[in-house]
Amino acid sequence: MNANGKALILNGGEGLVKIIADRKYREVPGLHIIGPRATDLISEGALALRLEATLDELITTIHSHPTVTETVREAALHAEGRAVHTKN
């Protein structure tokens, strides 16, 4: 969350979004969300689990800016080694 502008404003960027993905099919069987607006972000995670979403599907989903929800996309990008705002 320390690379997300909205999270920085809300609580100094403390927290994280961690996505667990299958190596072969890139499916998302789980994720952890800690930080500002975590209770709002978890609905996107729950939907991803319910729909058996892949990393690519999370990445290509539109995440409005500036919002904390962008951290979910950034975490999916990071899982693929393509993060934009954090080290890979």
Domains of the chain: 5-79 (3.30.390.30)
Judge whether 36 and 68 are in contact, CB under 8 Å.
Answer: yes
Query: Which tokens hold the place of 36?
Result: 């500002």
pLDDT in tens, 63-80: 999 999 999 999 999 999
What does the block give as tokens for 78?
């990071």
Residue 33 near residue 42 (C-beta atoms within 8 A): yes
Q: Note the pLDDT of residue 45.
A: 93
Is residue 44 within 8 Å of residue 30, measured between CB atoms? Answer: no
Catalytic residue among 32, 65, 78, 85: 65
Question: Is 32 a residue of the active site?
Answer: no
CA distance 56 to 67: 20
Residue ranges of the chain whose pLDDT lies below 50? none
pLDDT at 11: 86
Residue 69: per-residue pLDDT: 92
Which pLDDT score is estimated for 12?
Answer: 87
